[in-house]
Structure 1
Amino acid sequence: MVQRNTDVSVQVSGSHDTAACTVIEVLDRVSGKWAIGILIATAHGPVRFTELERSIKGISRRMLTLTLRNLERDGLLVRKVYPTVPPKVEYTATDIALELYESLASLTSWAERHRTAIAAARDAYDRAER
């Protein structure tokens, strides 16, 4: 097997380029393992925490909570707590999240159209690396 350098780093000009850091942080956040599923789920209207937990396979309650907080902090989700017992909490995508959803839908469509070609390329690569 051939060793390859797969470490991708982004260099930001200047040591304190806040705008570039923010862009990188947001891209990291929305491209994370769980964020895309949450954003897709909330794009169609308010979703309760337990609905999200059931619809996103494999996510722990802790990771769901952290991801929701981060998406809320970035202005992509709005959290609404209803004063009931037990408390009812809903998450809704903001306008900027709905704009992002359009891009995610395009990316998903692209991936579906090209999945056969990508699978064939992976197989060919793996055979060549043996």
Structure 2
Amino acid sequence: MEFALVVIPLLMVIAGIVNFGLVFAQQLALDNSVRAGARAGVVDTGNNPVTVATAQWNSTAIAKSQTSAFAVTYPSGVGSTCKGSAFGQNMVVRATVASKFLIPWPLPGSVVPKTVTLSSQAEFQCEYQ
């Protein structure tokens, strides 16, 4: 009888730990991919930051397993490269992705959301004009 009363909260705690670990790993992968894309944009390598960031994102299996499409934006005025930028101008790369939980919660959607939106931003100073 005691086990029956304890097992449901215990399983919910375990599911929460697993879901948090997966979302945390996806956030780390998102941070790394955005950082790699922004770095490729500020260094004159000829690589497109979106291509570099997407390749980095696609190389991690845990990132793609439970997420939506990977969207990259440039919220600053620099764009995809630093070519023609002013001295000291920064390149900002931002990416967002929606992550689903691995273990669905047995609660209504209004109490616990079904997805969480992850976002990351990397900013580097342009190294060439």
Task: Kindly indicate whether structure 1 or structure 2 has the higher relative contact order, using CA contacts under 8 Å at least 6 residues apart.
Answer: 2
**Structure number having the greater helix percentage:** 1
**Structure number having the greater strand percentage:** 2
Fold match by TM threshold 0.5: no
TM-score using structure 1 length: 0.29
TM-score using structure 2 length: 0.29
